[in-house]
Amino acid sequence: MARRVVVDTGPLARVEGEGSLTIETRGAEAPDVKLNIFEPPRFFEGLLRGRRAEEVPDMVSRICGICPVAYQVSSLNALEGLFGVEVDEQVKRLRRILYYGEWIESHALHVYMLAAPDFLRVADVLAVAEKHPKMVREVLALKRLGNDLMSTIGGREIHPVSLKIGGIYKAPPKHTLSALVPELARLRGSVEKMVRFVSSLDKPTLERESTMVSLHHPDRYAIDCGEIISNRGLRIQPSAYEENFEEHQVEYSNALHSRTKDGGSYMVGPLARYNLNFDQLNPVAKELAKDLGVTPPLTDPFQSIVVRTLEVVHSLEETAAEIEEYSEPRRCSAAYKVKPGVCFGVSEAPRGILYHSYVVNGRGQVERAKIVPPTSQNQARMEDDVRLLVPTIVKAESNEARRLSEMAVRNYDPCISCATHFLRLDIRNLSPGSPRN
């Protein structure tokens, strides 16, 4: 039977970076689903070789303009662990507020500007603004607040400059953070409307069994650090990551696919965090979740968009509490001595676990770097989801087939810039003449 190309998206819009999706069917055979990533690799792991450990946080942040804090924090967790640095508790608090700012900004961007247009069947946020002007203004204010938190602590929102091994270059005076509290309070009041809006959107469904992996921290809904857990009973330290997960190349993509050691795909990100750490979600977000009827177990990836908004509620509440508790650290930065060795660091980027490992030599230079971003962990999962939707997709007319399959990919908020900082230069399927949606 002839192969039939059911969907070929061409370059995907409203994702970070360059990729496309193709679905081919052949009779009763399993459909062929490929997320083609043609974003050129930038070889960051290679570039880091020979660089000094203290340069690493600023360099790795350039892997991704959407989640630079995640890159900085994962690398700091690794290197500070190796050098045995004890970071001041108030500095840790600042790093968390910075990270909450990134979650708020990134989630607001994804939910309302990249994903919501799908649900409303329009092209972009401008069109959403025509229908819902007040809400879009409120979303932009939310995004602004996330950015303001980042620039107050980090100097700027994209590639912040303040974090360093041992602490922070300069701690903001309390009043600069307090200045953000009125707007924070206003948004804590108005965010529920935005959550309800997203919750009320008409969504496809995809009920499925999933291996979900996230960090877990004893004291809080994990964000800046923790051990790695799964809904299959996994509980490991970051140092055991590579014993439990492995990456492999696929011919059609410039990004590696991660799988569990037994070969299964797995999911990281908001839905995984939510299912595994729901008890630790801020009570305000938890109550709202109960009211909306979206409590765990929540396995449908199309619910990810709702979970992201609940994580925004959580982040706003936690940020308010952290600012309240903040006082200027007595010591911005701890002295440390460079030590050789291998180290591991993880944190919860907006899109899921971001794993870093470095080998540092006696002169304090990086000899080997390995970075596994959330999007490469989710890639196999995205293809699996689309595969499960194929029976619906083949019955739909072509625009709807395309919309549905793109949504299944956008559920994971793929960050292709992140996922292709490493791999080989096999550039496929970049047809400049192909229609751009």
Q: Name the minimum Å distance from CB 281 to other proteins.
A: 27
**Token digits of residue 286:** 């938890």
Judged by beta carbon, residue 214 or residue 411, the one nearer other proteins is: 411
- Shortest reach from residue 125's CB to other proteins, in Å: 7
Indicate the helix (H) or strand (E) that contains 382.
Answer: helix 374-395
The distance from CA 48 to its chain's CA centroid, rounded to whole angstroms, is 22
First to last CA, the chain: 29
Decide whether 63 or 284 has the Cβ nearer to other proteins: 63
Of the two residues 249 and 398, which places its CB atom closer to other proteins in the complex?
A: 249
Nearer to other proteins, 220 or 403 (CB): 403
- Cβ proximity to other proteins: between 34 and 403 the closer is 403
Say whether 304 sits in a helix, a strand or coil.
helix
Please count the CA atoms within 13 angstroms of the CA of 155 that sit on its side-chain side: 10
Q: What is the DSSP string of 56-110?
A: HHHHHHTT-SSSHHHHHHHHHHHHHHHHT----HHHHHHHHHHHHHHHHHHHHII
Distance separating alpha carbons of residues 121 and 131, to the nearest angstrom:
12
- Report the nearest approach of other proteins to the CB of residue 97 (Å): 16
**Least distance to other proteins from the beta carbon of 49, Å?**
6
CB of 84 to other proteins, least distance (A): 23
Q: Closer CB to other proteins, residue 125 or residue 382?
A: 125
Token readout for 136 is: 């879009």
> How far out from the chain centre does Cα 107 lie?
9
What are 343's strand-pairing partners?
358
Spatial neighbors of 187 by CB under 8 A, at least 6 apart, are 138, 141, 142, 145, 316
Smallest distance from other proteins to CB 303, Å? 22
CB-nearer residue toward other proteins: 126 or 185: 126
Least distance (Å) between residue 271 CB and other proteins: 23
